[in-house]
Structure 1
Amino acid sequence: MPSRSEQVDLSEVIGDELPYLRRYARALTGSQRTGDNYAAATLEAILQEPGIFERSLAPKTALFRAFHMIWSTAGAPTADTEDPANRLESRALDHMAGLTNNTREALLLSTIEGFDFDEIGRIMDVDGDEASSLVDIAITEMEKSMTGKVMIIEDEAIIAMDIHSIVSEMGHKITGIARTRDAAVELGAREKPDLILADIQLADNSSGIDAVNDILAQFGDIPTIFITAFPERLLTGDKPEPAFLIAKPYSEEQVRSAVSQAMFFSSTESLKAN
């Protein structure tokens, strides 16, 4: 059992990276609850056996490697499906059965978390070339899995058009672009989207979070990707949080990956304002 001083030291080293592990775990499982459970299990394992946190690696890499030890031991489940009424998560598991092993993890580690292929290899215990190949396979398989109608809620015209271009090139139909909460609700009422991609702060100082929740109140669960320049502020554990989150400035690969992930699962946890 590590000493008190060792526990404090580990907490300080890991603390800054924990929001990103939670983001990754949620995107990986498609469930806020399941993702957080695996992140918590990783921390407990590190506290019990500090040796699984390799100090020779960068803290984020070491933390994600420890997570993958827990993840692999558990058989890489995707979401908590103990509740038979949880149809959307069960559907996600059905989709997962058709994916090549380890490709989903490699894709998220690369495009969402920003690890290079050598770092992914260290995390997943494969070499860099295999990590690169897994990412390529994942992109192809994810983008073929599903297309649909996408609503964009974004007040910056250049960013909105860039996202429009990326998402439409993936084969999705764009239902429209809304710059304010009211415009988003009106757009959603005209044509129900299969996916919402929303900024947090909108043109009239309204909230993209509120806009999404208004739309969800009308239609029920719709997968949602939130965009923000400050992702760590939204991953505090104090309230329901998004499974899919893109940080600004974003890359095309991040948008493509997040859209494919969200459409793949056909569900996400909405971010609710208090």
Structure 2
Amino acid sequence: MKTILVTGSNGLLGQKITERVLATKQFNLIATAKGANRYPVKEGYLYAEMDILDAANVNEIVAKYQPDAIIHTAAMTNVDTCEDQKELAYALNVKAVETLIGVCGQFDIQLIHLSTDFVFDGADGPYDEEAPTCPLSYYGQTKVEAEELLQHSKIKWAVLRTIIVYGIVSDMSRSNIVLWAKAALEKGQPINVVNDQWRMPTLAEDLADCCLLAVAKEANGIYNASGKDMMSISELVAKVADFWKLDKGLIKEISAETLNQTAKRPVRTGFILDKSIRDLGYAPHSFQEGLEILNEQLRSKETV
């Protein structure tokens, strides 16, 4: 049985990978994050504190466990924060990958790295894996640099690019566009939502499955790993309102320009998923199915 080490295991994707591994018992798991373990189940895997910015710490932990694969989910993903804090963004999104490449080379470890649709400018979406990158933001630039480090390395690697990940963690500490829209509309709060950007939102469980498929199939190269439905951000929020029977009258559609966001966003991204479906057996849910899964999880939390 292969052993996988996950970075950023306290995050949404990290927790879903833990959940999946515990359910399938397909891998041995070493979960790592900065600080204490926030996943509610503590048995069935090992947890180690690891600061991805501390190269010595990373080398020590990886050398101790020598996993077959590392799934690297830790990153700075807030696009505007990356623009404002470039040094930290570079350390988290590029230097950390450089550290992992070094230690993976030393112990012959496969590295699965998470990337983003923001490596593109959004002028020509949806994109396949061969499309030339052209980031509009510093966040996108750091992700392109990390991808290039892997492409020029001699290790076994796979990049999984994803788009707007949504889902819930046990303590509800992580928000995302679906939970944000649902919570605001339930409180009767009016919300401004852009109607001129298009994406393919990704259920966290689907992305976790794709990460584990990449390990199982010893994937090599770049793969798209998003949801399968393309929609504008305002359509996404309207679907959330419809699903939970909330007041769509509270949704005010605006253009992205009026938001004055620090970082530029691509207009239309989206992915062609044929390669991941064919080579990895990736099988993402529709957005409607994703909302149904989320609803079941929320209901089971209420009955606990």
Report if TM-score (shorter chain) is over 0.5. Answer: no
More helix by share: 1
